[in-house]
Amino acid sequence: MKPNYPISPFDDAIRNETRRQFFARGARGLGVAALATLIASELQGADNVAAGGLPGLPHFPPTAKRAVFLHMLGGPPHIDLFDYKPGLKDWANKDLPESVRAGQRLTSMTANLSRFPIVPSKFVFAQHGKSGTWMSEVLPYTARMTDDIAVLRSVYQEAINHEPAITYMQTGFMVGGKPCLGSWLSYGLGTMNRDLPAFVVINATHSDPRANVQAVSARMWSAGFLSAQYAGVALQNGANPVLYIQNPDGVPANVRRQTLDAINALNKIQYDRIADAQTMARIAQYEMAFRMQTSVPELADFSSEPDHVWDMYGDDARKNGTFARSCLMARRLLERGVRFVQVYHRGWDLHSNIPGVLPNQCKDVDQAGWALVQDLKQRDMLKDTVVIWTGEFGRTVFSQGAVESYGRDHHAKVFSLWMAGGGIKPGIVYGSSDDFAFNVAANPIHVRDLQATILHLFGIDHERLTYKYLGLEQKLTGVDKAYVVKDILV
């Protein structure tokens, strides 16, 4: 006699589920039913306005509707870019005092050094703008816009190696598996364009082959424990920004539509049986991909950009994959309703030869970053678009090894970044480091405070944007206290 096997393992799972599992499944089903309603309204031809998101958000009137996060992977040397310390000339080749290091953790690359020789920046600094902001000569375009940006010189975190530090900057935790900032915003506020993802990621190339590069992967734009629909969509370099979005040769659009309808019908059957949230997310993603077949080719067609825009971004913008091209693409995404654009630029892990490599790294990003801010400004978009330029940490004031090598190790106890637009006060310098650019001297800003402040710009109280997972009310800023940096807000 044949054993009485269940029709599927899902039937068996439901038959044997506990009372607690039953109620948990029911709760998920209610949430997904609401999601299904939203998806249905989209498929019936909703306008390109905010859709999805959580009820009650934003918590208060926002100053930002969208953001672009420019992440310099590897850790730009703040002492050579933003944090002018002329007094260090008197300390050249002298050891950093032990009292300044104060037992701080060092990476394995410098922990066993017998000396910590100070290397003052060899680059020329000058004051710029009405604010008189000090800026390095390797950032001439950024120096032009000091009255548009806020330079923060007192940011810090705990992680001293790249992977945990990048993860901390993006997700609020040093370990993987958590949603990143773009995913939290997509989850909380929904989308502003039904034909494009709410969260897009661009990986730009770097031009100097001598630069040390850090690995970058989809973990950096993961939705973590949130639904996969909130993960970032990575655009590729080249003629087809999204892989496999075009129909195969010989497959017309009506056949693809029929195929998609059939797949969705099967997914709906499965959802009716087991109320799996990921099933409805899968339907939404398939529909988004179908609509992107029309929206992405238009997005990737730069022929309508006038000459003055190309001149502003520079010659690199005409080359696929460059940071300049990525910034121009970011502006096109933002003006089409994408809420959060993440641009990664690698090559900032400067353990040696800073005079040789840093100018080229800055040349890759300097004019493009300036052009992006000016482009948004001329389109009246900067007022509600926040731009963030940062690394995951900074670099040490002492040389890693011999002074002549002019390399700097990772340093997380203080570093600099700049922000602009979306409610950020322009033309200011906030916070300061000590005389050695090694510790925070005034107005400390932890990465959690940075994240809380960005959410605040979007009208979100970081304490109230939560998701229950593993029995905890999870949030971007974690369990430790985080503060909105109100002094940098307009």
Q: Do 181 and 69 have their domain in common?
A: yes
What's the pTM? 0.85
Question: For 316-367, how does the pLDDT look when each residue is reduced to its tens digit (9 = 90+)?
Answer: 999 999 999 999 999 999 999 999 999 999 999 999 999 999 999 999 999 9
What's the burial of 5, exposed, middle or buried (CB within 10 Å: 0-12/13-18/19+)? exposed
467 pLDDT above the threshold of 80: yes
E runs forming strands in 196-239 = 199-204, 233-235
The verdict on 372 and 454 lying in the same domain is yes
Contact residues for 276 (Cβ-Cβ < 8 A; gap 6+): 28, 32, 270
pLDDT tens digits for range 281-315: 777 666 666 666 777 788 889 999 999 999 999 99
Q: Same structural domain for residues 263 and 342?
A: no
Nearest to 340 by CA among 330, 353, 350: 330
Q: How many domains does the chain have?
A: 2
Range of the domain at 385: 51-241+300-488
Q: In this structure, are 116 and 252 located in the same domain? A: no
Q: Say if residue 190 is in the same domain as residue 273.
A: no
pLDDT, average across residues 397-408: 89
Q: Do 59 and 172 reside in the same domain of the chain?
A: yes
H helix and E strand count, the chain: 13, 17
Are residues 407 and 364 part of one domain?
yes
Number of residues assigned to the chain: 490
Residue 275 shares a structural domain with residue 307: no
Q: What pLDDT, in 10s, does the model give residues 119-142?
A: 999 999 999 999 999 999 999 999
State the CATH number of the domain containing residue 228. Answer: 3.40.720
What pLDDT is attached to residue 341? 98
Same domain, yes or no, for 278 and 146? no
314 and 284 in a common domain: no
pLDDT, tens digit (0-9, with 9 covering 90-100), for 109-121: 988 888 999 999 9
> 232, 264, 293 — which closes off a domain?
293
Backbone φ/ψ region at 406: left (φ over 0), alpha (ψ -120 to 50), beta = left
Q: Are residues 345 and 310 in the same domain?
A: yes
Same domain, 153 and 192: yes
